[in-house]
């Protein structure tokens, strides 16, 4: 499969159902539909707030890349940012448009676009934010190049990518490798074929540092805090206890599924 075919598969996957929308049975695009998606999201992924810091960007030009159902995007708009949003899928853009309409809010721009080729000039934004997106795109390095290109010198880039050295990645290995009698499957292979859309990647911190080194940016922070997904929040107490024990041994800020990367674009 070449990169174009892979991207088409990624697009088809996310266009069928925008990320995080399966948690509600309410009528599509109703207010309660969006409310339930939002409540569930921040209940299980509260780290988004401290990472994104939505309210700090009042009046700033913010681009979100890969907006999904628009739950974070609406936070930028509510916070008074000049919010621009793109996603590879029309389904995502439609979700976000409907949501803005219900709340009578306004985005500066919303469009279907590819993170590997952003439709904005160089140095356009104060902040570029992308949560759980660029590891799904076939050419993640090209996405990063684009995020850096469109942020202004001195501006900030906040990205979440999956962490291969995480408790959650280990559970995926147990489920899709060990328990299926395929212990030789690598973490990379399991995540590529069995984690959300085809071609999903996850990185080690070392790989991320190497990738970032190619760009004119400074790392402000790089952590992988243990999340609900790593702590098996939906399992019984015994599993949760074991997961917490593992996190204590391997590091609460190192073995989380979400690798949080904050970068500053260099001025020269």
Site residues (CB under 6 A) for ligand SAM?
10, 14, 18-20, 65-68, 86-89, 92, 114-116, 131-133, 136-137
In angstroms, what is the minimal distance from the CB of 147 to ligand SAM?
Answer: 11
Using the minimum distance from each CB to ligand SAM, give the nearer residue, 17 or 103: 17
Using the minimum distance from each CB to ligand SAM, give the nearer residue, 68 or 242: 68
In angstroms, what is the minimal distance from the CB of 133 to ligand SAM?
Answer: 4
**133 vs 135: CA distance, rounded Å:** 6
Using the minimum distance from each CB to ligand SAM, give the nearer residue, 82 or 137: 137
In angstroms, what is the minimal distance from the CB of 119 to ligand SAM?
Answer: 11
Helix (H, G, I), strand (E, B) or coil at 110: strand
Using the minimum distance from each CB to ligand SAM, give the nearer residue, 79 or 89: 89
Using the minimum distance from each CB to ligand SAM, give the nearer residue, 86 or 208: 86
Lookup: tokens for 82: 């000049």
List helix spans (H) across the chain: 3-16, 31-44, 47-52, 71-78, 90-103, 140-150, 167-176, 187-194, 205-213, 237-250
Nearby residues of 207 by Cβ (< 8 Å), 6 or more positions away: none
In angstroms, what is the minimal distance from the CB of 185 to ligand SAM?
Answer: 22
Nearby residues of 80 by Cβ (< 8 Å), 6 or more positions away: 57, 58, 59
Lookup: tokens for 158: 């906040």
In angstroms, what is the minimal distance from the CB of 154 to ligand SAM?
Answer: 25
Q: What angle do CA 35, 38, 41 make, to 5 degrees?
A: 150
Dihedral pair phi/psi, residue 267, rounded to 5°: -80, -30
In angstroms, what is the minimal distance from the CB of 68 to ligand SAM?
Answer: 3
Using the minimum distance from each CB to ligand SAM, give the nearer residue, 44 or 242: 44
């Amino acid at each position: 499969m070449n990169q174009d075919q892979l991207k088409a598969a990624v697009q088809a996957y996310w266009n069928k159902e925008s990320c995080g929308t399966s948690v509600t049975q309410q009528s599509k695009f109703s207010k309660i539909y969006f409310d339930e998606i939002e409540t569930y999201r921040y209940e299980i992924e509260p780290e988004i707030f401290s990472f994104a810091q939505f309210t700090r960007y009042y009046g700033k030009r913010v681009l979100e890349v890969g907006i999904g159902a628009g739950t974070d995007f609406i936070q930028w708009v509510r916070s008074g940012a000049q919010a621009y949003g793109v996603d590879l899928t029309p389904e995502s853009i439609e979700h976000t448009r409907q949501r803005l309409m219900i709340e009578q809010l306004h985005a500066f721009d919303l469009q279907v676009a590819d993170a590997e080729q952003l439709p904005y000039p160089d140095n356009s934004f104060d902040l570029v934010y992308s949560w759980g997106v660029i590891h799904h795109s076939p050419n993640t390095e090209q996405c990063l190049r684009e995020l850096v290109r469109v942020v202004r010198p001195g501006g900030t880039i906040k990205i979440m990518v999956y962490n291969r050295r995480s408790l959650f990645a280990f559970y995926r290995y147990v489920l899709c490798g060990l328990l299926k009698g395929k212990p030789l499957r690598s973490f990379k292979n399991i995540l590529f074929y069995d984690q959300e859309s085809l071609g999903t990647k996850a990185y080690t911190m070392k790989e991320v540092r190497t990738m970032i080194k190619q760009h004119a940016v400074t790392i402000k922070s790089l952590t992988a805090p243990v999340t609900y997904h790593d702590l098996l929040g939906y399992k019984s107490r015994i599993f949760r206890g074991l997961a917490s024990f593992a996190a204590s041994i391997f590091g609460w800020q190192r073995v989380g599924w979400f690798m949080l990367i904050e970068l500053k674009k260099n001025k020269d």
